[in-house]
Amino acid sequence: MRPIAFNILDTMTLDVGAHLRAVRQMYGLSQRELAKRAGVTNGLISLIEQNRVSPSISSLKRVLDGVPMALADFFTLDLAHKPQVFFPKAELPDIGAGRVALHLVGGSLAKRSMAILHEFYAPGADTGEEMLTHAGEEGGVVVRGRIELSVGGETRSLSAGDGYYFRSNLPHRFRNVSREDCEIVSASAPPTF
Amino acid sequence: MRPIAFNILDTMTLDVGAHLRAVRQMYGLSQRELAKRAGVTNGLISLIEQNRVSPSISSLKRVLDGVPMALADFFTLDLAHKPQVFFPKAELPDIGAGRVALHLVGGSLAKRSMAILHEFYAPGADTGEEMLTHAGEEGGVVVRGRIELSVGGETRSLSAGDGYYFRSNLPHRFRNVSREDCEIVSASAPPTF
DNA sequence: GCATTCTGTCAATTTTTCTTATCATCTGGC
DNA sequence: GCCAGATGATAAGAAAAATTGACAGAATGC
């Protein structure tokens, strides 16, 4: 009679230490910092993280309260399947073409509500005379160079530091009319890519 | 070192002791029985259940392994919201009509995949000349008396101890053609009631 | 450079958990 | 009734965890 589904912890080596360390670092806390918040000594945190002791429930509870995190969350936290957070440049797929390079951030994530792009427009680069229109919203910031952005009949030249945001159903177009590369970071939701 | 005159864990939100006791009793185990399976002493189980100690993770893990139950399940288990298990006769709603009484088991449960019915057919009771058809499957056992069951053009007379099971889209009809009451316990999925 | 402050680790001591061995109580069999 | 075998609780000692206080290395500021 097993009323509840069993999860990975059943067979896994219960690495409480690594688990705690991961949680602590996830929250950007040092052993002492966490110890102070939790009302325990840093030595204890150290010992637990090294698996040199098996903390009592009450101790682990106190430690987690310093995060704060519930015991249930601690034990159900699945470190193995944690979603990717960092996407090194080299790993960003380039979905651009011609004089435009589009580096998609988080493309490997199954469910996401946005597409983050690192865009590079070479001199003369153009998204096309045929204006773009699609569902959702998009926005971004020009990081380097200049870009000419046309949205809904209005055209502006944006330079480093300028930003934009509009409903994507408005016809829009990006053009680099300068002689330098232009670099933009953008986001669109829902993700078109 | 003060005498343990109060509950050590009184500030904790999770009553580990009561939780363990509930789990143990859920599985019908005595302290000694569980201790034997878990490879610990019955004394420890006793102390933990009285909250006179806060077990180490490793100890609690060992104890739960004897159930067996995963740590995550232990901490996730919600005793407060445990679904109703026993439905006294007096509490069973009668959704029948005329010469048929239908006592629904578990009607108060929000999400269920079946409808369990305790059915009573008085002499002459009939679900109707118009055959029943609906989605899902159903089955049951005749507990007392006799019932004439027609399914998909085939008719049989079932008496105490006989069972039935069929896809509910087949036209079916229940009739008590005897001079005694007939009593049936049935189940249908998905629940029509 | 130097001092300061942070980091994590560690040995020794204190505190708590866990085992051992026992107790009283309850239950079913005869 | 009385015994046999089970139950959960408990005291004391053994074992493990938690604190204390110190250490060395790394990062930060002057």
Higher per-residue confidence, B14 vs B58: B58
| C-alpha dist (Å) from residue B92 to B75, B85, B138 | 33, 13, 20
Higher per-residue confidence, B96 vs A12: B96
Ordered alpha helix ranges (H), chain A: 16-26, 31-38, 42-49, 57-65, 71-76
pLDDT of residue B1: 31
What's the CA–C1' distance between A49 and D22, in Å? 20
Point out the nucleotide closest to A32 (alpha carbon to C1′). C7
Point out the nucleotide closest to B55 (alpha carbon to C1′). C17
Query: What is the rounded average pLDDT for all residues in chain A?
Result: 74
| C-alpha dist (Å) from residue A183 to A94, A102, A119, B55 | 14, 10, 6, 57
pLDDT of residue B106: 59
Residues of A in contact with B70 (CB under 8 A): 6-7, 9-10, 75
pLDDT of residue A9: 31
Q: And the tokens for A126?
A: 């153009």
Q: What's the mean pLDDT in B41-65? A: 91
Residue A22 to residue A85: CA distance in whole angstroms: 14
Candidates B27, B54, B68; nearest CB to A57: B54
Residues 6+ apart with CB under 8 A from A152: A166, A170, A171, A172
pLDDT of residue A180: 86
Higher per-residue confidence, A121 vs B133: A121
Length of chain B: 193
| A1–B27 CB contact, under 8 Å | yes
pLDDT of residue B153: 62
What's the CA–C1' distance between A54 and C4, in Å? 35
- Whether B181 shows a pLDDT value over 80: the answer reads yes
Residues of A in contact with B71 (CB under 8 A): 9, 14, 75
- Whether A90 shows a pLDDT value over 50: the answer reads yes
Higher per-residue confidence, B98 vs B82: B98
Residues of A in contact with B76 (CB under 8 A): 4, 72, 75-76
pLDDT band at A48 (very low <50, low <70, confident <90, very high): very high
pLDDT band at B26 (very low <50, low <70, confident <90, very high): confident
Residue B48 to residue A137: CA distance in whole angstroms: 56
- Whether B9 shows a pLDDT value over 60: the answer reads no
pLDDT of residue A47: 92
AA identity, residue B7: N
Phi and psi based region of residue A161 (left: phi greater than 0; alpha: psi -120 to 50; beta: remaining)? left
Chain D nucleotides with an atom closer than 7 Å to a protein C-beta: 6-11, 16-22
pLDDT of residue A149: 80
Strands (E), A24-168: 100-105, 115-121, 137-144, 146-151, 154-159, 163-167
- Whether B136 shows a pLDDT value over 90: the answer reads no
Residue B72 to residue A77: CA distance in whole angstroms: 9
* CA quadruple A39, A44, A46, A48: dihedral sign: negative
Higher per-residue confidence, A179 vs B140: A179
Q: What's the mean pLDDT in A151-157? A: 69
| B69–A14 CB contact, under 8 Å | no
Query: How does DSSP classify residue A56?
Result: B
| A56–B54 CB contact, under 8 Å | yes
For the ranges A58-67, A126-135, A162-171, B2-11, the maximum mean pLDDT occurs at A58-67
Residues of B in contact with A1 (CB under 8 A): 26-27
Point out the nucleotide closest to A59 (alpha carbon to C1′). D18
Phi and psi based region of residue B80 (left: phi greater than 0; alpha: psi -120 to 50; beta: remaining)? alpha
pLDDT of residue A129: 63
pLDDT of residue B48: 93
Place of tokens 């229940």: B174
Instruction: Please report residues contacting nucleic strand D, using a CB cutoff of 7 A.
Output: A 40-44, 47-48, 52-56, 58-59; B 30-33, 42-43, 46-47, 49-50, 52, 56, 58
Q: And the tokens for B32?
A: 């000694």
pLDDT band at B176 (very low <50, low <70, confident <90, very high): very high
The model carries a pTM of 0.62
pLDDT of residue B138: 72
| CA closest to B76 among chain A residues | A72
| B9–A58 CB contact, under 8 Å | yes
Residue A140 to residue A186: CA distance in whole angstroms: 4
Burial of B118 from C-beta contacts in 10 A (0-12 / 13-18 / 19+): buried
Q: What share of chain A is helix, strand, coil (3-state, %, to 5)?
A: 25, 30, 45
Residue A69 to residue A76: CA distance in whole angstroms: 11
Residue A113 to residue A111: CA distance in whole angstroms: 7
Residue A162 to residue A184: CA distance in whole angstroms: 10
Q: Tell me the β-bridge partners of B17.
A: none
